[in-house]
A and B are shown apart, each in its own frame.
Chain A
Amino acid sequence: MAFTKEDVERIALLARLALTSEEKELFARQLADILHYADEVLAIDTAGVPPTAQPLAAPPPLREDERRPSLPREEALAAAPDPAQEAGFFRVPKVIG
């Protein structure tokens, strides 16, 4: 499994990481190494084996969907880098042109 610079750039865009060119080179090499190691898994016969997504035999039943007090809006906004407290919003760069 070889990683090209384009592969790394495609994944970095999906992951929303603006990598430097040094990081792109480093990760291309390291991800190839790690996946080469993981390739042993591809050969295991898993025909008919169900996947395990979580280990609990029986997940607990869901609670009733009742209205309960939640975090006050001003507290939820307090840790934001650019809150608009009075409007009650998180502010971000302009999205629509």
Chain B
Amino acid sequence: MYDKEMLQKLYRYCYALTCNEQDAYDLLQNALEKYLASNITVDHVSAYIKRIIHNRFIDDCRRQKIVQFDDIEEENLPADFDMMTLESIVINDDLAEKVLAFLAPGERELVYFWAIEGYSASQIAEHMEMPRGTVLSKIYRMREKLVKHFDGDVRSEAGAQI
């Protein structure tokens, strides 16, 4: 059985995906009900429920047709691009919510694993079941989107606008 701390942690994952408090709660409740009803025993319950949440969220997005299935062209990725490039970005303090909401659902999940769970590109790739190169491509594309959309509010730590 989950304690309140674990429920909060799962809720934050749901929030990172949905960017909406009520949707996050509904998502968590549905996933929890599905897990409890399944009456199965798994070794890593947290990971299992996150998988349920992920699948449920993707299903919901597909129903609402809000998932963008971009073709990732890894050959467009600069040779020197890595996760550290993303680490160097600074944003205005009040922009976090807007940045998160601006991102596509798949990008939000990626950001969650990176910013909240502290995963490396390889770990994110493993959790999202995609090649590491694809993860890096997504990050690159995400950064380009942020720079273009938020213009001067997104900068490098050195102070230069990206």
Q: Do A and B bind each other?
A: no
Binding site for A on B (CB under 8 A): none
